[in-house]
Structure 1
Amino acid sequence: MTDYVSTTPGLFPLPDWAKEDLSDLKGHQKGDLISGDEDAEIAAAYEDAREEVTGVQQEAELDRVSEGQLRWDDMLAHPLAVHDAVDTQGIVRYYDNNNFYRDPVVQGELEFSGDVAEELEAASEFVEDDELQAVLPGPYSLADLATDEQYGDEAEFLAAVAEFLEGEVDAFPAHETLFLLEPSLVESTPEDGLDERASEAIDRVAGATDADVVVQPYWGALEEKVYAHLLDADIDAVGFDFVANQEDNLYNIQEYGATDDVSLGLADGQNTLVEDPEAIRDRVDWVYEQIPVTNFDTVYLTTNTETFYLPYAKFEEKLAVLAEAADLAEVKAA
Structure 2
Amino acid sequence: MTELVATTPGLFPLPDWAKEQLSDLKGHQKSDLISGDEGADITAAYEKGRAEVIDRQQQAGLDRVVEGQLRWDDMLAHPLAVHDAVETRGIVRYYDNNNFYREPVITEDLGFSGDVAEELEAAAELTDDLQAVLPGPYSLADLATDEYYGDELIEGIAEFLEGEVEAFPDVETLFLLEPSLVTNAPGEGVDERASEAIDRVAGATDADVVVHTYFGAIPEKPYAHLMDADIDAVGFDFVTDHETNLYNIQEYGTKDAVALGVVDGQNTLVEEPETIRERIDWVQENVPAQSFDTVYATSNTELFYLPVNKSNAKLDALANAVSLTEAEQ
- TM exceeds 0.5? yes
Residues 141-163 of structure 1: CA distance to partner in whole angstroms, max 9, x if unpaired?
Answer: 0000000001122xx11000000
1:137 has 2:135 as partner: yes
Q: Hey, what does 1:270 align to over in structure 2?
A: 266
Residue 288 of structure 1 deviates from its aligned partner by 1.7
Q: Hey, what does 1:323 align to over in structure 2?
A: 319
Residue 292 of structure 1 deviates from its aligned partner by 3.0
The alignment partner of 1:37 has SS state of: coil
Residue 42 of structure 1 deviates from its aligned partner by 0.8
Q: Hey, what does 2:287 align to over in structure 1?
A: 291
**Number of equivalenced pairs:** 327
Residue 98 of structure 1 deviates from its aligned partner by 0.3
Residue 23 of structure 1 deviates from its aligned partner by 1.1
Supply the distance in 1 between the matched residues of 2:171 and 2:215 (Cα, whole angstroms): 27
The alignment partner of 2:174 has SS state of: strand
Supply the distance in 1 between the matched residues of 2:14 and 2:276 (Cα, whole angstroms): 25
Cα pair 1:215 1:237 within 8 Å, conserved: yes
Residue 32 of structure 1 deviates from its aligned partner by 3.7
1:1-334 correspondence to structure 2 within 5 Å: 1-25=1-25, 26-28=27-29, 32=33, 37-128=37-128, 131-153=129-151, 156-328=152-324
Matched AA of 1:60: A
Residue 180 of structure 1 deviates from its aligned partner by 0.1
Structure 1 residue ranges without an equivalent (≥5): none
Residue 170 of structure 1 deviates from its aligned partner by 0.1
Residue 167 of structure 1 deviates from its aligned partner by 0.2
Of all paired residues, the percent bearing the same amino acid is 71
Cα pair 2:268 2:310 within 8 Å, conserved: yes
Cα pair 2:32 2:38 within 8 Å, conserved: no
Cα pair 1:104 1:146 within 8 Å, conserved: yes
Matched AA of 2:167: A
The alignment partner of 2:247 has SS state of: helix
The alignment partner of 2:150 has SS state of: coil
Supply the distance in 2 between the matched residues of 1:30 and 1:53 (Cα, whole angstroms): 28
The alignment partner of 1:305 has SS state of: coil
Matched AA of 1:232: D
The alignment partner of 1:112 has SS state of: coil
Structure 2 residue ranges without an equivalent (≥5): none
Change (3 A) 1:29 1:7: farther
Residues 209-256 of structure 1: CA distance to partner in whole angstroms, max 9, x if unpaired?
Answer: 000000001000000001100000000000000000011101100100
The alignment partner of 2:28 has SS state of: coil
Please identify, of 18-27 and 80-89, the stretch whose mean Cα deviation from structure 2 is larger: 18-27
Change (3 A) 1:304 1:105: same
Supply the distance in 2 between the matched residues of 1:22 and 1:120 (Cα, whole angstroms): 21
Cα pair 1:238 1:259 within 8 Å, conserved: yes
After TM superposition, what 4+ stretches of structure 1 lie above 6 angstroms from structure 2? none
Residue 287 of structure 1 deviates from its aligned partner by 1.1
Please identify, of 211-220 and 16-25, the stretch whose mean Cα deviation from structure 2 is larger: 16-25
Residue 270 of structure 1 deviates from its aligned partner by 0.6
Residue 332 of structure 1 deviates from its aligned partner by 6.8
Supply the distance in 1 between the matched residues of 2:41 and 2:6 (Cα, whole angstroms): 33
Residue 109 of structure 1 deviates from its aligned partner by 0.4
Please identify, of 297-306 and 16-25, the stretch whose mean Cα deviation from structure 2 is larger: 16-25
Residue 324 of structure 1 deviates from its aligned partner by 0.6
Residue 45 of structure 1 deviates from its aligned partner by 0.3
Residue 27 of structure 1 deviates from its aligned partner by 2.7
Matched AA of 2:251: E
Residues 108-128 of structure 1: CA distance to partner in whole angstroms, max 9, x if unpaired?
Answer: 000000000000001111011
Matched AA of 1:142: L
Matched AA of 2:209: V
The alignment partner of 1:57 has SS state of: helix
- Over aligned residues, Cα RMSD in angstroms? 1.7
